[in-house]
Structure formats: C-alpha cells, structure tokens
Amino acid sequence: MMSDRRPIGVFDSGVGGLTVVRALRRALPGEDIIYLGDTARVPYGTKSPRTVERYSLACLRFLLDRNVRLALVACNTASANALPALEEASPVPVIGAVVPGAESAVAASRGHIGVIGTLATVRSGAYEAAIAALAPDSKVSTLACSLLVPLAEEGWTEGEVAEAVAQRYLTELFEADPDIDTLVLGCTHYPLLAGVLTRVAARVAGREIAVVDSASAMARAATLALGDDHSTAPSAQLRCFVTDATRLDVLGPRFLGEDPGAPELVDL
C-alpha cells in the first residue's frame, strides 16, 4: 500500500517550534515537514487571546494551502489560546501542545504538577483544564516565566545567569505548592533549558522532580495520529518558511539540532 506523501505541517510564533520538529524528525524520520515560523509577529506569549487566535489562524491557512495532512501547533501559547478555532477551521487533524504535555505530566505525576510557560499560556488556564480532564484530583500550579524565552534565544542555557533566573522562578513556583513532583516545560523554548531547570527544581524541592516537555509529547501524539499511515521513505524533506528574515542561521541549529537550511520568506 502506498503511504500518504503529503507533508506534516508545523507552525510556531518563531523559531522555538523547531524543538518540536527535532522531536518529530526523530520519531517519524520518513515524513516531509513544512515549518512556518511567524517571526514577524513573535512573541505571541505577551499578546491577548484574540490576537494570538488571529495570527494562529493565518499560520494554519498557510500550512493548509501547502496541502499538509496533519497540522501541529508547536507554540504552546497558540495551542493554549487558539486550539478550538484552529480545529474548527481545519479539514485535517490538528495537534496542539497542551493536551500531549498534560498527558505526559499526568503519566509522570503522583498528583502535584507545576507548569511553566509564557504569560498568555498561563493566563489561558489551558493546562489546568487539560490536566483536570485527565486527573481531576491533581493539584496544578502555574507560573509565567517571561525571561526564559530570551535566555534560550541568547544561548544562555547554562551558567550563572540561567541558574539565577531558574532559581528565582522555581522558588516562586514551589512556594505555591511545595509538593510538586512533576514540572511541565510548557513552551517551545524550554527544552533548551531542561538541564538547568531539572537541576534547579531538584535543588529547590530537595528531591528529584520529573520534568516533561510538550515537544516530545507532541511527536508521540503525531505518531499515534498517523498510525500505520506514516512514510518510511529513506529521505525526507524539511522546508522552513518565516515571515521575517531572522537569525535562523544562528538560532535554527540551536533549536533543531541541525542546520535547517535557508528559510523561505513569506507574507501571510
């Protein structure tokens, strides 16, 4: 049987969603991927739900015009604020970041979950709702960690500045619930800071803390969604589009773990 060779589409507010592409390429190496980074309008994390929804719908339309057979909303902020609108507008399945992230958290946790993300993700209450639907007795504490996105983009993912910022945020999070046993990295950029966040969380809590990220959870969700219908082609193509010329040459390899190649500039 011929497998469906239409690509998988992934969009994000910027380059951070390449962490999802990285996990996706590892899980489904034969799949062609179209990536759109809305670099002209990043960040989404400081914007209102209405604006995030409007921008996200434009990104989805771009991917649908390129005939994708599955759309991944890599951006946690877009997933948290726009998923119902995206699902309604899409003829193909849409996978957001929040539900897979919540599923991973519930699987890892004994009932006390901490979630960190952008301001717009935290304000949406989406993680609380997704976790409550899966494990109604779980206690969920959330915190907006606005400095972590620029820190990851600057490449300051280790060292004294990263340690100090992580210490400050995680101290506040664990004050809200000292019994947190699982930390969700609810933002595209945070997998780059997983080392420091894992270490500092353990130090603040005085015990090991399970750390889960939505990027690898989304790759698992995409694999499940495709089922047997995934390509085993020996070579797969990644095409990157951006809405503004960026430092993709510097940031791309950092987030993707390989050279994403020259992006194509588009206007949505």
Of 129-158, binders to ligand DGL (CB under 6 A) are 149
Burial (Cβ within 10 Å: 0-12, 13-18, ≥19) of residue 165: buried
From residue 237 to residue 266, the character string flagging contacts with ligand DGL as x (rule: CB under 6 A) and all else as - is ------------------------------
Using rule CB under 6 A, residue 188 touches ligand DGL: yes
How many residues comprise the chain?
A: 268
Question: Catalytic annotation on 145?
Answer: no
CB of 136 to ligand DGL, least distance (A): 25
CB of 248 to ligand DGL, least distance (A): 15
Cα–Cα dist 160/14, whole Å: 26
In what order do the strands lie in the sheet containing 182-186?
Answer: 139-144, 112-117, 182-186, 210-213
Of 7-66, binders to ligand DGL (CB under 6 A) are 12-14, 16, 42-45
Using rule CB under 6 A, residue 77 touches ligand DGL: yes
CB of 20 to ligand DGL, least distance (A): 9
Among 39, 56, 76, 138, binds ligand DGL (CB under 6 A): 76
Contact 143, 204 (CB under 8 A): no
Using rule CB under 6 A, residue 75 touches ligand DGL: yes
Question: Catalytic annotation on 59?
Answer: no
Helix (H) or strand (E) holding 165: helix 160-176
Give the three-state DSSP class for 58: helix
Nearest-10 Cα torsion for 232, 236, 241, 246: 120
Burial (Cβ within 10 Å: 0-12, 13-18, ≥19) of residue 91: exposed
Q: How many residues bind ligand DGL (CB under 6 A)?
A: 18
If the CB atoms of residues 230 and 263 are measured against ligand DGL, the closer one turns out to be 263
Query: What are the residue numbers of the active site?
Result: 75, 187
Residues that bind ligand DGL (CB under 6 A): 12-14, 16, 42-45, 75-77, 117-118, 121, 149, 187-189
